[in-house]
């Protein structure tokens, strides 16, 4: 079985448009990219697309009700929706420091979810 897919390279502003052809048990073939970085990106995008996860989680006792968070690395695109759903169910206690891990090894992957900013405790 073979398949080909058009992929727009987003590695640099040139936005080269090329195609990745995948045949069973064969190395993917790429056309239309003018550099090695683009070829690598296109193959990864066609075979195992990865994305950074960004969302917000609820905060208890903070000066703000929501904390922006980001994944420590890109994770499989197919995991993003379920990851966001899981994170919608957690609550983090203030105070929070930027870079603090708020959820370790999301979905059993080697990816942590970290705070994107500080949030101080609310004082009365």
Interacting residue ranges for ligand SF4, rule: CB under 6 A: 9, 11-12, 14-16, 33-35, 37-38
- Distance between CA atoms of residues 78 and 72, nearest Å: 17
Using Cβ positions, the residue closest to ligand SF4 within the complex turns out to be 38
Tokens read off for 96: 């929070």
Strands (E), the chain: 2-8, 17-23, 29-31, 50-51, 54-60, 66-71, 75-76, 91-93, 101-103, 113-115
Q: Closer to ligand SF4 at the Cβ: 37 or 117? A: 37
Could you tell me the smallest distance in angstroms from the CB atom of residue 21 to ligand SF4?
16
Report whether 7 contacts 21 (CB < 8 A).
Answer: no
Q: Closer to ligand SF4 at the Cβ: 24 or 36? A: 36
Could you tell me the smallest distance in angstroms from the CB atom of residue 5 to ligand SF4?
15
Could you tell me the smallest distance in angstroms from the CB atom of residue 18 to ligand SF4?
7
């Amino acid at each position: 079985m073979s398949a080909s897919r058009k992929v727009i390279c987003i590695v640099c502003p040139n936005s080269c448009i090329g195609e990745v052809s995948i045949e069973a048990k064969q190395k993917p073939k790429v056309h239309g990219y003018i550099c090695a970085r683009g070829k690598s990106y296109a193959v990864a995008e066609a075979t195992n697309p990865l994305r950074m996860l960004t969302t917000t989680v609820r905060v208890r006792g903070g000066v703000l009700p929501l904390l922006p968070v980001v994944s420590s690395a890109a994770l499989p695109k197919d995991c993003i929706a379920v990851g966001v759903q899981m994170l919608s169910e957690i609550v983090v206690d203030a105070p929070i420091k930027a870079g603090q891990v708020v959820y370790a090894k999301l979905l059993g992957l080697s990816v942590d979810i970290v705070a994107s900013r500080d949030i101080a405790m609310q004082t009365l």
